[in-house]
Chains A and B, each alone.
Chain A
Amino acid sequence: EPEVTQTPSHQVTQMGQEVILRCVPISNHLYFYWYRQILGQKVEFLVSFYNNEISEKSEIFDDQFSVERPDGSNFTLKIRSTKLEDSAMYFCASSPLMGGETQYFGPGTRLLVL
């Protein structure tokens, strides 16, 4: 069964450093998403991406965040200058054009900013 994959599974970085989180969505899916979950809190939407552009973004997705689909398979989230409060689990999700809006989540990247 096709799955969303994410790398790395864990990342530790110093405050102020740039990080890139990578995702490979399910191959025939057309909508891509990033979410984050701070420890003990709810899953929060960051951004959605369709047809090579951002479709929707939340208030959390400020200028320090960017997304890109550099090739036909990868979907990346870049955090330019990490802050302590960026420590969270980051989930990538994808959904097909057909079949409604069901979103399938990857295993996540646990980011720790020191």
Chain B
Amino acid sequence: QKEVEQNSGPLSVPEGAIASLNCTYSDRGSQSFFWYRQYSGKSPELIMSIYSNGDKEDGRFTAQLNKASQYVSLLIRDSQPSDSATYLCAVNVGGGADGLTFGKGTHLIIQP
């Protein structure tokens, strides 16, 4: 059974601060990990992908992966009001044509 767990929030963070979003997954065979952002009524928008243990940075975003702990996180630095959205953690177990398993998402609110 593939499970991806996220705290649903809401997570409230002041503008300019660091937002930290966390995700755990159940399948140790998982190979690929993704963070998507979803605004209300819209489709998931890819933010970051990460495949190996450690940190991966892209602009204000840093993804962290720890396969031993089955844990993925996303840090958003210098949070902006436009970052307010639901952040979805997604995991791909087998690669290739395997479907993504999504968490329920964390609702992030950036307070101006």
The B interface, classified by DSSP as helix, strand, loop or mixed, is: loop
Number of interface residues of B (CB under 8 A): 25
Min C-beta distance of A110 to chain B, whole Å:
8
Min C-beta distance of B5 to chain A, whole Å:
11
Return the chain A residue nearest B97 by Cβ: A55
Q: Which residues of B contact A55 (CB under 8 A)?
A: 96-98
User: A104-B46, A105-B45 known; A45 and B97 CB under 8 Å?
Assistant: no
Contact call A101/B43, Cβ cutoff below 8 A: no
Contact call B44/A91, Cβ cutoff below 8 A: yes
Q: How far is the CA of A101 from the CA of B101 in the complex (A)?
A: 13
- A residues at B contact (CB < 8 Å): 31, 33, 35, 41-50, 55-56, 58, 89, 91, 100-108
- B residues at A contact (CB < 8 Å): 31-32, 34, 36, 42-46, 49, 51, 88, 90, 92, 95-105
7 A-B pairs (CB sep. < 8 Å): A46-B99, A55-B96, A89-B43, A101-B32, A101-B96, A105-B44, A105-B46
Q: Kindly list 19 other residue pairs between chains A and B, CB separation below 8 angstroms, not including A35-B99, A102-B46.
A: A42-B88, A43-B102, A48-B98, A50-B96, A50-B97, A55-B97, A56-B97, A56-B98, A56-B99, A100-B32, A100-B95, A101-B32, A101-B98, A105-B43, A105-B44, A105-B45, A105-B46, A106-B43, A108-B42
